[in-house]
Amino acid sequence: MKFRAFIFLLSLIFTFPLCNKKVDEVTEKYNFTVNGTVYVNNVPVGNVMLEFGTKESIYIPDWNTVLKYTDENGKYNFTITVPQRTGFGSQYRIRAKNPITQSWSNYRHGTVQPEKTITENFYF
């Protein structure tokens, strides 16, 4: 009986640290940027609303969305910082509001890529 108790105690001593071992946090992060210009009749237009959204996986239904306006030259820039462990497989989408009709363009989708800049220009 003492031998079984000793073995049980020994197994607890060795398995407890393994079960409670924290997974090393991956602290490496990278930037991903989507930028571009909004044009009306091939002329850059300022103060146009854009909607930019991201999500960590195609399996997650909800998007983290940000609204932003173009500057006076019709340019915009969205930069996100993504942890490396969740970055691969992350998705983005962007659309612009037509300044004439006030209707939204179709979404443009893509995959978040490490240290990459994507240009999405909108023409109305």
Name the domain count of the chain. 1
Is 50 part of any domain? yes
pLDDT tens string 93-109? 999 999 999 999 999 99
Q: Could you tell me the residue range of the domain that residue 105 belongs to?
A: 29-123
Q: Which residue has 């942890």 as its token pair? A: 83
Is 15 part of any domain? no
The residue-averaged pLDDT of 71-89 equals: 84
Task: Give the integer Cα–Cα distance in Å for 122 and 75.
Answer: 10
pLDDT tens string 25-78? 556 889 999 999 999 999 999 999 999 999 988 888 899 999 999 999 999 999
CATH number of the domain enclosing 97: 2.60.40.1120
Is 8 part of any domain? no
* E strands in the chain: 29-40, 43-44, 49-55, 64-69, 75-83, 91-96, 108-111, 116-119, 122-123
Is 82 part of any domain? yes
| Best CA proximity match to 36, nearest among 14, 15, 12, 52 | 52
Q: The whole model's pTM is what?
A: 0.74
